[in-house]
Each structure stands twice: as structure tokens, then as C-alpha cells.
Amino acid sequence: MSIKSRNRLEVGRARANGFQPASRTGRHRRRGRNRVLKIVLGTVVVVGGLVATDYLLYRGRVHPGVQVAGVSLSGMSADEAAAALEAAAAERAAEPISFTYEGERFEATAAELGWTPDVEATVALALEATSGSSPVSDLWNRVRAWVRPISLPWVATFGDGADTVIAGWAQEVERDPEEGTIEIDLLTVVPIDPVPGVEIDGARVVELASQQIRDQVAGELELPVILIPAETTAQDVAEAADTARLVLDGPISARVGRVDVQFLPAELAPLIRDEVVPELDELPPVTATGTPEPTGTSIPEDDPGDARIEVTLDPAGIEALLAPYRDEVEVEPRSAEFLVQGDVVKIKPSKPGLRIDGEIAARRLMGISAKPEREGKIPLAKENPKLSTEQARALGVRHVVSSFTTYHSCCEPRVTNIHLGADRLDGTIVMPGEQFSLNGLLGERTIAKGYVPAPGILNGILISTPGGGISQLTTTVFNAAFFGGYPIDQWKAHSFYFSRYPMGREATLSWPAPDLKFTNDTEYAFLIKASYTSASITVKIYSTKIREVLATDPVITSRTENGFWTLVQRIIKVNGETVRTDRFTTFYKNGVPLTEQEAKEQASPSPSPSPSPSPSPTPTG
């Protein structure tokens, strides 16, 4: 058999077994692929045509299936969508949103809560609802929108209106925390646990209102609040109650100074006080900030508080219970004293006093109440003197820096006034930089103060007045200040010259003016000492001497028809060198003051009294 015949035989067998020749199988496969390709191309053409039609039909319009908060904008132009949304926004803004809290309803419209929709921005969002990040996603969004609607939220904000509304609700809802406390009912301690405060969660209110406007929640909403924990806990209250019960557990015995005192529970019960104080033994706890619950109440968990309740006894009440024992246990403090010995000054040391102190006694009683034997001591408090020994030494009052004496006739009424003023002046201390006023020290000279009527000058006439003659003391003080070198701020000489005073270096005094004032311009205090005899008055100033003072003799500088002018100069030296020269000028009237009788004799009769007499000045001493 030939090769060709054999091949034909093999082909026949292959066909009998279901096989086709290779060439015909390939043709069949090509025809299948072509059919699939035609179907795909046809589908693409159809879909592309639909998409193209979709793009053409809804170009510049909202795609079908797009809605905003339930308002369908399918196929609308920008203006149509804006009009639809304007109407929907007005309706939505007027709808009330209700919250409830503890059975009370709190209601406000979306507009009152400050809801402000941005229609233009919402329309722009709707026009771009099917836009994607790529052509494929864009195509997919358009196709999907035909099957399932695209729901968009309002583009909106909440203004200050919510704050105003919530502030109104807060008056009925919010409260401050109430700290734990204890009350005393007769001798029974009643604990009262703390109560948390309430605060409206404003941010959550706005969030819930926004959700209801977007139809994400419906119906009445539970007003969201935050509980503000008290600084104290129930445990703090329990501990405070235990402390108070110890105080009232029975009598307390205490030794105060040299006296034994017993305090009964009935006396102490009204004096028990409790106060919330910071807990200083540890740092305040750090509270993590969390997101509030969707509705209802939130409160920090496991908050131990950052304060405690301190139980004390009222110091004033304890001091009142101890008042009957003051005379037995208290000692008055003694200030340091300047003891003048000739021209030098010695210091008598100060001594602290002892007194009952309510604060100390109250604290000590609380401690004693915790002891099993309920007995103890209450110390007395030291009371410092007004002037301690150290303070007195620092003042620099050591020796005489100036002294002056004037003389007068013995045993006249005016001498009583001079001595009374000298007693008031004696021992006066003037601090550095302080201004001394003689009127300020003596006050008004009255019969009630012991001053007696004596001659004084009023309008150039000698009359009898309480305190008359006090100018003798004034002139003596003036000269002591003069020779101490102290600046003399205010002074006035007599209108007539009296030979018992140094010319140009004398001063008068009236109430309330003229006054004698001078200032301590040194860094040391000075002490004024006044002494007298039946015919003289002496004033000495003690301090630390820092300068020498000289006075020139009085000079009559000029004369007039009515009187004459005098000049006295004060020369102040430090370490031998002149540092200042002060001029004191005085005008004296001619003659001497008239007595009241002489004035009456010289006065010409007046036809009638003045209808509006002017008030007379106070006579000078």
C-alpha cells in the first residue's frame, strides 16, 4: 500500500472517531471569536450611546436619582433645583425640633437653633453627584444612579442661635454640683452625699438637630447632658461623719494655761463646721476627654474627686467658751520703752503677752477628741508687743539732738493749759518721713478735756478762752524742732511781739488753724519729751544727731506805719559744712494786744448791728 493510500486510511479512522482535520477546527474557532467580538462591540456601542445620550440629556442638570434630604432634584436645572431647595429649606427651618429631659419638653425650630442652609452650595453638590475620580467611576455613578437614588445632605451651618436657645434651656436644666456635707441634729451626725451638677451638651444638641434635619433621626430626642461630678465623694462624707462623731463621743478635758476646762458634747455640737478643701496630698486626677454618648447622660467613670471634707470647730465659738478664763490665764504684752536718763536714752526690753487663741484651741480640741483618753493641753498664743526691743533699737533714739525751754509766771490759769498739753505731748514718737502736727496731737482744747479759760488773742484783742496760753507750749516745740534742723512745714507767729518769746522764733496755735507742723526728714525716729516746773516748760527731742544747727540773732529788716519786719536765719551744718540756710520772716504789729475792756473803750458806737456778721476766727493761745 502506498503512502498516500495509508494517509487517507488514517484520516478516515480519525473522522470515524469524531476528530476533524486540524485546518477545519481552526476555522470554527475563529468564527466563534468573531461572534463574541461582535456582541461586545454591539454592547459597547449601545452602552456608549446610552451614556452619550445621558450626558447630552443631563448636561448642566441634576442627574436622575439625586435627592437632598428627601427632596428629589432629578433632571432639574441649577435654577430649578435652587427654587426647590429654597422652598424645602423654608419649610424645614420652620419645623420644630423637640428634646425631653426629666419629663420636661424643650422645643425650638431649626432656624431658632441657628440652622442656615447654603442652597447654592447644595445645588452645586447635587450637580456633581455623579462625578467620579475617573471616567470609569463617573460612568459607574451615572449608571448606578438609575438603579439606586443618590441621597445628599444639606450643605448648612449652625450659627449663634443654638447658644441662645440652649442658654434659655439651661436656666431650667443646669445646676452646679452639690458637695457632700454633714449636718448635726442635736447630737446626731447626719451625712449628706454629694450630688453631681448638670450641664447641657451644646455640641451634641446641635449634632442631633442636624441629624433630624437630615432625616437621620425622628421624633422627640432626649436632651443630651453632661453630669459634672462634685469634688467630694460619698467616702469623703463618711470619713467626715466619723470625725464629727468622735468630737461628740463624750466630754473633752483640756488644760488651758493654769486652768482645767471641760468641753461637753452639747457645747461643741453647734460649733462643728465642715468645709471642702483641696486634696493636696496627691496631684489632681487627669480626666481623658471622650466623645459624648449619642443621647442621654454621660459622666466620667471612677472619678475619685480632688477634694476632701475637713471637719473643724468654729474658732469664735471656742473662744467664747474660753472667755470666762481670760483673766486667769492671759498676760498683756509689754512694749519696749525709752527711758530717758539725762541726755541719753536707755531701752526697757519688751515682753510678749499670752492670750487665748480660738484657732489654736479649735485645732487642738479636734486632735484631743481622737485620743482614747480625750485629755490634752491647749497652748496659749504669744502676743507680740506693739514695739519690740529690736524695733526700738532700730529706731535710733539714742540721745538729745535739740532742747528748748521757755518761762512763764507761776500759778496763772494758763499754766494749767500748758501743763495739760505738755502731758499729752510727752513720749510722742515721730517715725522717719512722718509729719508731726501739734493740733493733730492735742485736738480741740475744750473744758471737757480739762482745759480752763485763760487769755488768748482774737482779732488783736485779749479775751478769755479755753486753752488760752497753749502758745507757750507751741513756741517751745517750735524751737526744739528749729534746733533739731527739721523742716517746719506750717507755723504762724503771734501778731504782737511778747518779750517772753525769742523774736522771730515763736509760734501760736488755734483750732483748727493755724497749726504747727514739721517733718522728720531723717532715717531715724525721734522721741519728744516734755517736762515743766511751775514757771517753765522744756521740750527735748531725742534721736541720732546727724547735724549742727545755728540761729542768727533776729534783725529788724524794715518798719512800717503799723509795725516792723524781722528776719532770723537757721544755718544747718553736716560734718562742719553748711548744707542749708532757712529764712524765717515775721511781721509784728506795733504795741500790744488790747484787753476786752480797752477795746470797748476805744470802739466808736455803731448805729445798728451788721445784718450778716462774719464768723469770728478762733482765738490764739
More confident call, 44 vs 108: 108
Q: Are 535 and 496 in contact (CB under 8 A)?
A: no
Collapsing DSSP to helix, strand or coil, 380 comes out as: coil
pLDDT at 603: 55
**407 Cβ partners below 8 Å, 6+ apart?**
500, 535, 536
- In this prediction, residue 444 has a pLDDT band, given cuts at 50, 70 and 90, of very high
**Tens-digit pLDDT profile for residues 9-33:** 554 554 545 545 555 555 666 666 6
Long-range contacts of 574-579 (CB under 8 A, 24+ apart): 574/546, 574/547, 574/548, 576/548, 579/547
More confident call, 51 vs 344: 344
pLDDT at 30: 67
Is the pLDDT at 494 greater than 80? The verdict is yes
Is the pLDDT at 619 greater than 90? The verdict is no
In this prediction, residues 323-332 reach a mean pLDDT of 96
Q: Are 570 and 484 in contact (CB under 8 A)?
A: no
Q: Which amino acid is at 287?
A: T
Is the pLDDT at 617 greater than 50? The verdict is no
Q: Cell numbers 512722718 label which residue?
A: 434
pLDDT at 17: 53
Query: Of the candidates 216, 230, 228, which has an alpha carbon nearest to the alpha carbon of residue 294?
Result: 216
Collapsing DSSP to helix, strand or coil, 307 comes out as: strand
Rounded Cα distance between 457 and 412, Å, is 17
Lowest average pLDDT, out of 79-93, 454-468, 577-591, goes to 454-468
DSSP assignment letter at 147: H
Rounded Cα distance between 461 and 496, Å, is 10
Q: Are 494 and 566 in contact (CB under 8 A)?
A: no
In this prediction, residues 348-360 reach a mean pLDDT of 96
**135 Cβ partners below 8 Å, 6+ apart?**
none
The rounded mean pLDDT for the chain is: 84
Q: Which three cell numbers stand for residue 374?
A: 480625750
Lowest average pLDDT, out of 91-95, 101-105, 347-351, goes to 91-95
- In this prediction, residue 546 has a pLDDT band, given cuts at 50, 70 and 90, of very high
> How far is CA 498 from each of CA 407, 408, 503, 590, rounded to the nearest angstrom?
12, 11, 8, 11
More confident call, 385 vs 93: 385
CA 594 from centre of chain: 65
Is the pLDDT at 82 greater than 70? The verdict is yes
H or E stretch including 100? Answer: strand 96-101
Rounded Cα distance between 126 and 129, Å, is 5
In this prediction, residues 421-440 reach a mean pLDDT of 97
pLDDT at 467: 84
Q: Are 230 and 179 in contact (CB under 8 A)?
A: yes
List the beta strands (DSSP E) in 426-487.
428-430, 435-437, 453-458, 461-466
Give the burial class of 201: count Cβ atoms within 10 A of its Cβ; 0-12 exposed, 13-18 middle, 19 or more buried: buried
Is the pLDDT at 305 greater than 90? The verdict is no
Count CA atoms closer than 13 A to 258's CA, side-chain side: 7
List the beta strands (DSSP E) in 453-576.
453-458, 461-466, 488-490, 517-519, 526-532, 536-543, 548-551, 555-559, 563-574
Q: Are 520 and 401 in contact (CB under 8 A)?
A: no
C-alpha dihedral sign at 314, 315, 318, 319: negative
pLDDT at 592: 74
Q: Cell numbers 446626731 label which residue?
A: 188
- In this prediction, residue 554 has a pLDDT band, given cuts at 50, 70 and 90, of very high
Give the β-pairing of 197-200 and 381-383.
unpaired
Rounded Cα distance between 103 and 171, Å, is 16
Give the β-pairing of 461-466 and 594-595.
parallel
- In this prediction, residue 284 has a pLDDT band, given cuts at 50, 70 and 90, of very low
pLDDT at 234: 94
Rounded Cα distance between 311 and 224, Å, is 37
Q: Are 392 and 538 in contact (CB under 8 A)?
A: no
In this prediction, residues 545-558 reach a mean pLDDT of 96
- 378 forms beta bridges with 256
This prediction's pTM? 0.56
Q: Which amino acid is at 359?
A: E
